[in-house]
Structure 1
């Protein structure tokens, strides 16, 4: 038997990422193979889950991924795991529409047949935790509540009072995570800071797990092993090299999207726009999202790299730039500290706007691009605090009636985050474009 469950909460800010990390670290310390997942499109929380579990976290987004593909992504990552733990998103029933729980944690739990472990921030509550847990248990159909973990508990007596209330309501309590300053994670405008620069203190995670009943949690969430679905080995035939921008400025990638590229025939060659002086020898270039605004001065000062990127874009080889990548390819990036020249491929400049653009998007490609022909419907996610100044001369899409991004010839740059694992035609077309661009 293995164990599988989804850890959800009544609302954002309950401490889901921290408590999920506590659970993952404790299970990993037992010598178990633990596979972490994050519900939704978030790029930052998975870095903390990966570090705690010692294994790369995967995103499970029911909007970006068709249901069949969602199941496949889950099964392929979890096939050899002893325990699979999914961190939910927002509140348990919060999805795209306030009148439906579609694309919520509850929706994901039903789709993947996962019991829910409810995390409740017990600060300032005792008996009320049972009312919250009972209300969430009874509100939606098809949600199996396995039990509760209490967070930010002030004392052993506080935990005892909450536990007694839950027991009276017939709800199992798997223990609690105490208030600990060492568990606090800093954040900035896009969410938590990534684990690469601001990791959890592992010793603190393990200390916090001392008040959890992990044996009971594993027993209640036990399930038959999933059918073995090991990752694919990739297609036969010629392979291409795709340069992958990956450093502190550009780090937003879905692991399954990178796997899809490799299985389509791409070998990924990481490089750093911050530290290196040229793009590696490659057939294509992928620049994901991240925090270019936090490194604008250093990116701008690396003249050799900026010129190398611009030359690559002029070479006819495919270039895909998402969000932060678009900002890097723009004429200049304006921050509160000044305006910094960038690569100059996209003729407009980008600037930090101080307001969040957020949401799922359904769009149609306006131009033939290295990813899709004109007229292709696509699903995407947007999450950024910057804007592209002016009306794009060569827009890639219309987003809610407004032209967006840049698509011209071999270059596609947009604020939209696509999931290349959603449709095998996307990575296959990119690989084919890389082959076609060879001399």
Structure 2
């Protein structure tokens, strides 16, 4: 059994300020000399860039540690515990930021893919982050309802965000006394303390610097109470290691990493490294050539915000067109690999290895996905099933050679010719490590590999 002090930050709904509160807590605890390990519930690859410094896909902005996703749809209970223990090694406290509302997930009851599911698996105390800007006494029945809804989810206190001042905070504290829940801290209502958003969520770390010092100075925190509750978490059972035994670097994998492409699951990249990948970053925006590599990984991001710059980097577009190894392109990378992107009535030519054109749409396509390979590709043999998540506004012309069929439906998606895989689905490789092994083995074998059949 292993004792890991831990807390989950949850909320009644999205937009309550979980990331802002997490940053304030990480900063305040860091000033005390404590090593805080951040985690993020769900398939989100944007918020973690703030929690951990944004200069790599592994480490976020506040804690200086790798930030991992805890998702109950991607991983079973043992896998999720293994990832948690892997990430929390050497930390004084694990701080888990929830996703959406506490009981929001893949199903209407929050049994899968929710913050509640992760809190139960981790046996972790839950602090409810409440947007208190338009309430006073009503905070008590709100918090009490969340505490009572599922007895296995242990709500132990409240953090109030967007508070009008000291008197408002005292009203909230007094109201919570009636239901026996402590007010563990609060942040004032101040737009300067907010992190800006755009169409896919928060802007990325590095685009704007979160006001870390200002957040710590503005926050009123019961750090002793928070630490005491975190330390009361029960010991967790030992489970097998999350990653396989590490191999020395054997295969060079070039991966897109700049302002246009930055959406990766950190633990997915770490899995590739453990299996023998040397990950070499490059910038589709600025670099005139690819690094020397045997495989190519184009992650998601915001190509629509940099379409002109991407289209103008002709030397790199030509280099990718001539790349002979396996190529995996997800979401933004899929758009980049297409013939081009329409934004309104303007067309921006891209790589052209995917025979279709993308167009920005009005509404989002989002949700968890299980997809079955329609033919062999760099990550799966025909008939194999992988898990992932979709969140995008772009639409792609239907392909004559789709990569995936959605499990549980007839819809097909993506493109593959065997060597190239393009799709809007962000696949979660740790859910099925065989896909990562296949990708690296194909790259090591070199051009002419028969794996695409």
Q: Is TM more than 0.5 here?
A: yes
Contact 1:43 1:252 (8 Å CA) reproduced: yes
Q: Which moved more, 1:92-101 or 1:48-57?
A: 92-101
Cα distance, 1:182 vs structure 2: 1.7
Q: Is the 8 A contact 1:79 1:225 kept in 2?
A: no
| SS of residue matched to 1:280 | coil
> Is residue 394 from structure 1 mapped to residue 401 from structure 2 by the alignment?
yes
Distance 1:139 1:212 in 2: 27
Alignment correspondent of 1:71: 81
Residue equivalent to 1:275: 286
Q: Do residues 141 (structure 1) and 151 (structure 2) align?
A: yes
Alignment match, 1:420: 429
- Please give the alpha-carbon distance, in whole angstroms, between the structure 1 residues aligned to 2:90 and 2:244: 16
Q: Say which of 10, 13, 18 aligns to 2:12.
A: 10
1:95 aligns with 2:105: yes
Secondary structure of the residue aligned to 2:281 is: strand
Cα deviations by residue, 1:128-183 (Å, 9 ceiling, x for unpaired): 10100000000113011121111111011111111011112111211211112221
Q: Is the CA contact (8 Å cut-off) linking 1:6 and 1:86 kept in structure 2?
A: yes
For structure 2, the 5+ residue unaligned runs are 53-60, 449-453
2:45 to 43, 54, 58: 43
What displacement does 1:426 show? 1.6
8 Å Cα contact 2:354/2:415 also seen in 1: yes
Q: How far apart, CA to CA, are the structure 1 residues paired with 2:190 and 2:32?
A: 22
Equivalent position of 1:372 in the other structure: 380
For 2:5, what is the secondary structure of its paired residue?
strand
Partner of 2:355: 347
The 1-side partners of 2:355 and 2:243 are apart by 40
Query: Which residue is 1:113 aligned to?
Result: 123
Q: Is the 8 A contact 1:79 1:229 kept in 2?
A: no
Deviations 1:31-62 (A, max 9, x none): 11111011001111111111122222111111
CA deviation vs aligned residue, 1:66-124 (integer Å, no higher than 9, x gap): 32221111110002110100110111111112145322111110011111011111112
Residue of structure 2 equivalent to 1:265? 276
Alignment deviations for residues 248-301 of structure 1 (CA, whole Å, 9 cap, x no partner): 000001110011000111010001011001111101000000000100000000
Q: Distance in 2 between matches of 1:106 and 1:136?
A: 10
Inter-partner Cα distance in structure 2 for 1:348 and 1:363: 21
Report the counterpart of residue 309 of structure 1 in structure 2.
Answer: 320
2:210 matches 1:203: no
SS of 2:160's equivalent in the other structure is strand
Q: Does residue 324 in structure 1 map to residue 332 in structure 2?
A: yes
Aligned-pair CA distance for 1:350: 0.5
Of the candidates 143, 167, 173, which is equivalent to residue 157 of structure 1? Answer: 167
Contact 2:66 2:87 in 1 (8 A): no
Check whether the contact 1:28–1:54 (CA below 8 A) recurs between aligned residues.
no
Instruction: Report the counterpart of residue 58 of structure 2 in structure 1.
Output: none
TM-aligned CA deviation for residue 372 of structure 1: 0.9
Match of 1:292? 303
The verdict on how the C-alpha distance between 1:96 and 1:287 changes in structure 2, with shifts beyond 3 A counting, is: same
CA distance in 2, matches of 1:100, 1:33: 31
Matches within 5 A, 1:203-222: 203-209=213-219, 211-222=220-231
Secondary structure class of the residue paired with 1:221: helix
On the 8 A contact 2:378/2:420 being kept in 1, the answer is yes
Q: CA deviation at 1:437?
A: 1.3
Question: After alignment, is 128-137 or 178-187 more displaced?
Answer: 178-187
Q: Which moved more, 1:199-208 or 1:377-386?
A: 199-208
Comparing 284-293 with 394-403, which one deviates more in the overlay?
394-403
Given candidates 357, 360, 369, the residue that maps to 1:361 is 369
Post-superposition shift, 1:235? 3.9
Cα deviations by residue, 1:204-235 (Å, 9 ceiling, x for unpaired)? 121123x1111110011204676698886854
Task: Give, in angstroms, the shift of residue 238 of structure 1.
Answer: 6.6
Given that 1:371 and 1:430 are in contact with CA atoms closer than 8 Å, whether structure 2 keeps it comes out as yes
Task: Please state if 1:433 is matched with 2:442.
Answer: yes
**Aligned runs of 1:171-250 on 2, under 5 Å?**
171-209=181-219, 211-222=220-231, 223=233, 234-236=245-247, 239-250=250-261
Report what 2:63 is aligned to.
53
Taking the aligned partners of 1:341 and 1:17, their CA distance within structure 2 comes to 37
Encode CA deviations 1:325-381: one digit per residue, 9 max, x unaligned. Answer: 100000011113611000000010101011100111122111101111010012110
The answer to whether the 8 A contact 1:39-1:61 is kept is yes
1:29 positional shift: 1.8
Answer whether contact 2:247 2:274 (CA < 8 A) is retained. Answer: no
Q: Is the counterpart of residue 382 in structure 1 residue 384 in structure 2?
A: no
What TM-score comes out, normalization by structure 1 length?
0.95
- 1:364/1:182 CA distance change after superposition, 3 Å: same
